[in-house]
Chain A
Amino acid sequence: MSKDAFFALGLLAGLMIAAWGLGRKAFKSKHYDEMQLKIRATGYRIGFFTALALMAVLMLLFELDCLGIVSPAFALLAVLMVSITVFAVYCIRHEAFLSVDGQGKRYIALFALVVLCNGLASALRLIRGEALENGRLTLSFGSPLLMTVAFLVILAALLIKTVKAGKEAAE
């Protein structure tokens, strides 16, 4: 089993543990009103179709042999992160994500930490020369890199929204 396969297994296990640990209580405590639920439903739809479109593009690029530098696993992870980012940014923009008004600062701090940790992880792997294996980007380098980029975009959206919300409240 390759290093990337172990990494992917670890990622899956981590997600399952996080879902089990945070899932029930965290999701139950969130209260979105009817307008926010409608916005989130639209966001899920946009994220879903973004993923579908990107998958179709990827299929074409792999068939044309244009993506030699990335593995299929990396490409799929990229599609996942892009669609999650699209959903998150849409919901943040329409004020239906993570209670922006209520606890925006806490989530900004959390996301900044995620960006920092993943950024450091990918930088370390790059310095150690673990970014490429057999001429392809490794999942162990690509995964934290994709997380860094995705959470950076979401963090930027959160910051912009928090500043705008503060200005509106002041008015």
Chain B
Amino acid sequence: MKNLKMKAARAAKDLSQEQLAAMCDVSRQTISAIEKGDYNPSVNLCVAICKALGKTLNDLFWEE
């Protein structure tokens, strides 16, 4: 399932996938795969993404 919340949060911070990937110490492809819903990140990576985007885990990764 696509993670549109993460994509929106990244866009709100005016960050490219590459920039976010660098902040989280992963590859751009991993960020792309997470946003497309092709990859389920580990909790550690989720936390790193949330910190980079200034959001909580619920904001970005909780399914309604």
Query: Bound pair: A and B?
Result: yes
Q: Give A contacts to B, CB under 8 Å.
A: 33-36, 95, 101
Q: Give B contacts to A, CB under 8 Å.
A: 25-30, 33, 39, 41-42, 45
In the complex the two chains form, is A33's CB within 8 Å of B28's CB? no
- A36 to B32 alpha-carbon distance, docked (Å): 13
In the complex the two chains form, is B28's CB within 8 Å of A34's CB? no
- A101 to B42 alpha-carbon distance, docked (Å): 23
Enumerate chain A residues within 8 angstroms of B45, measured Cβ to Cβ. Answer: 34
- A35 to B28 alpha-carbon distance, docked (Å): 11
- A36 to B26 alpha-carbon distance, docked (Å): 9
- A81 to B25 alpha-carbon distance, docked (Å): 33
- A33 to B39 alpha-carbon distance, docked (Å): 12
Which chain B residue has the least Cβ–Cβ distance from A36? B27
Which chain A residue has the least Cβ–Cβ distance from B16? A169
Q: Name A101's contact: one of B27, B33, B39, B41 (CB within 8 Å).
A: B27
Which chain B residue has the least Cβ–Cβ distance from A33? B26
Enumerate chain B residues within 8 angstroms of A101, measured Cβ to Cβ. Answer: 27-29
Q: Chain B nearest CB: distance from A103 CB in Å?
A: 13
Q: Chain B nearest CB: distance from A42 CB in Å?
A: 12
* Beyond A35-B26, A35-B29, 9 extra complex contacts between A and B, CB < 8 Å: A33-B26, A34-B30, A34-B41, A34-B42, A34-B45, A35-B27, A35-B30, A36-B27, A95-B27
Q: Chain B nearest CB: distance from A146 CB in Å?
A: 31
Q: Chain B nearest CB: distance from A129 CB in Å?
A: 49
- A36 to B25 alpha-carbon distance, docked (Å): 12
- A134 to B63 alpha-carbon distance, docked (Å): 68
Which chain B residue has the least Cβ–Cβ distance from A95? B29
Q: Chain A nearest CB: distance from B7 CB in Å?
A: 15
- A95 to B30 alpha-carbon distance, docked (Å): 9
- A102 to B30 alpha-carbon distance, docked (Å): 15
Closest CB pairs A-B (n = 4): A33-B26, A35-B30, A95-B29, A35-B39
Enumerate chain A residues within 8 angstroms of B30, measured Cβ to Cβ. Answer: 33-36
24 A-B pairs in the complex with CB atoms less than 8 angstroms apart: A33-B25, A33-B26, A33-B27, A33-B30, A34-B26, A34-B30, A34-B41, A34-B42, A34-B45, A35-B26, A35-B27, A35-B29, A35-B30, A35-B33, A35-B39, A35-B41, A36-B27, A36-B29, A36-B30, A95-B27, A95-B29, A101-B27, A101-B28, A101-B29
